[in-house]
A and B are shown apart, each in its own frame.
Chain A
């Protein structure tokens, strides 16, 4: 195969500029506005206007008031990501190694449910986990739940919803990684008397790490910022930072606090991602 030659010249820039302009104007510049807004005077308002007052206090105030939802979001996001990793790995492994000629069909089936609206899917879980529903009744019968125990309005329901809704973000990168693995390597490990478990942990798992890293990132980031699941399946006791930010913006019209909280969330996520990627030793992914 001949190497594609990259042409120099003006045309490349012309093709690129419209997209970059759009992203610059509506992704980068807004981030700047967000930083600016987070430093506006907190006593301003929509009507009276805001001034740039370098009000770093907005950040400490936001942390003081909302550290609980913030930590909860990261915690729920992490647990949901872990559950997604377990479920997703089994599914991706089955598709990559065991599905034979049904591989493409199974891949299609993985994505298909997620074309139905996110909100409708989540409402559907609300019905499944409802107080007199089959799931709750069965768990009560088995004494896993008390006789007046419930799932809705508990962390369990919220985490279950997050796990379900972000599962394909885990499965697809995992599959992409697993599908590339040369089967001869696994055969070689069994020829060298490794039992299937040793073979898995010494060969398959390390080779699938790039998929694990990108899958966990693609799941964790949206899960930690989500507020749809907590709003529909949880209660104010499980309030996550996404709902706080959105209600500060749309109900309370407290833009500086909302912007500061948004920035804190982003910085925390970026920091966690960097540490994690460094630990996993796959920096070249970014």
Chain B
């Protein structure tokens, strides 16, 4: 009896243990954001304080790096989402020569090791004589490049899984192609585009390997963390880490709730 009960649940239990394990470092980050460190060199929990949350920008270079990462993330997301969405529409809705070569070109950046992509871009910039101008723009170019494929794949999946009956109906009811697109097609694809944009932002915001090779003297947030990791991490870094976690949880959970509400109103 108990043997059977256990057998039914053992896999779920083990799965939950693995899931719990993925949260251990996050719990440490949250805990350390309230840490009152005794010395900068010893990284351990010494006492509780709210100071880190009250004064996140004690090290101004951290906050300027953070601002730069947000700026690059937003611009890269905007560009990659627009270019990637256009390409996804072309791939699903239009016919053209060289489809398999195009698919390969879109797949490769997702599979190539970051260190290879980063070093090849650097090789190009150096060969083109831009080794002195590495910085904001070269980082942005790189980020748009590696976000693009993920946008194409995400939006393409949404488009391909979409029934075009609704669009047919709109056309049958004398909607112009533009009306059909903006009132029917676009709203249906939008969740995919939004998901792609969120993915792009988090990829861009978090990238270190490619950015570090092409940044010159510019510092993004991950590069700041890398720098302080060698000489003592200010606890405010954990405040940012906690905030990132909280914001992403809010975004994903509200998206999930929205989904549920929509399915419920559709099935009623």
Complex: A73 Cα to B60 Cα, angstroms: 36
Complex interface: chain A residues within 8 A of B205 (CB):
117
B 71-108 to A, binary, CB cutoff 8 A, 1 in contact else 0: 00000000000011011011111111000001001111
A211 CB to closest chain B CB (Å) equals: 16
Complex interface: chain A residues within 8 A of B38 (CB):
none
Q: Please tell me if A149 contacts chain B, counting CB pairs below 8 Å.
A: no
Q: Please tell me if A237 contacts chain B, counting CB pairs below 8 Å.
A: no
Q: Please tell me if A201 contacts chain B, counting CB pairs below 8 Å.
A: no
Contact B152 A19 (CB under 8 A): yes
Contact B93 A124 (CB under 8 A): no
Cβ-closest chain B residue relative to A269: B113
B 196-231 to A, binary, CB cutoff 8 A, 1 in contact else 0: 000000100110110011000000011001100100
Q: Please tell me if A71 contacts chain B, counting CB pairs below 8 Å.
A: no
Complex: A46 Cα to B127 Cα, angstroms: 10
Contact B124 A6 (CB under 8 A): no
Q: Please tell me if B58 contacts chain A, counting CB pairs below 8 Å.
A: no
Contact B91 A164 (CB under 8 A): no
Complex interface: chain B residues within 8 A of A117 (CB):
205-206, 221-222, 225, 240-241, 244
Q: Please tell me if A192 contacts chain B, counting CB pairs below 8 Å.
A: no
Contact A30 B124 (CB under 8 A): yes
The answer, among B44, B94, B126, B212, for a CB contact under 8 Å with A255, is B126
Q: Say yes or no: A26-B25 contact (C-beta < 8 A), given A120-B237, A123-B225.
A: no
A 20-55 to B, binary, CB cutoff 8 A, 1 in contact else 0: 101110111111011011000000001000000000
- Judged by DSSP, the binding face of B is helix
Q: Which of A10-18, A56-64, A139-147, A183-191 contacts B (4 or more CB under 8 A)?
A: A10-18
B188 CB to closest chain A CB (Å) equals: 13
Contact B11 A90 (CB under 8 A): yes
Interface residues on A, range: 35 or more
The answer, among B12, B86, B106, for a CB contact under 8 Å with A23, is B106
Complex: A121 Cα to B122 Cα, angstroms: 27
Q: Say yes or no: A22-B145 contact (C-beta < 8 A), given A8-B94, A33-B120, A93-B15.
A: yes
- Judged by DSSP, the binding face of A is helix
Q: Please tell me if B194 contacts chain A, counting CB pairs below 8 Å.
A: no
Contact A20 B208 (CB under 8 A): no
Complex: A258 Cα to B121 Cα, angstroms: 13
List the 3 closest A-B pairs by CB distance, nearest first: A94-B15, A12-B94, A225-B113
Interface of B toward A, CB cutoff 8 Å: 7, 9, 11-12, 14-16, 18-19, 21-26, 28-29, 32, 43-44, 83-84, 86-87, 89-96, 102, 105-109, 111-124, 126-127, 131, 141-142, 144-145, 148-149, 152, 163-165, 168, 202, 205-206, 208-209, 212-213, 221-222, 225-226, 229, 233, 237-238, 240-242, 244-245, 248-249, 252-253, 256, 259
Interface of A toward B, CB cutoff 8 Å: 1-2, 4, 6-9, 11-13, 15-16, 18-20, 22-24, 26-31, 33-34, 36-37, 46, 87-88, 90-91, 93-95, 97-99, 104-106, 108-121, 123-128, 130, 132, 164, 167, 196, 217-218, 221-222, 224-228, 232, 241-242, 245-246, 249-250, 255, 258-259, 262-263, 265-266, 269, 286
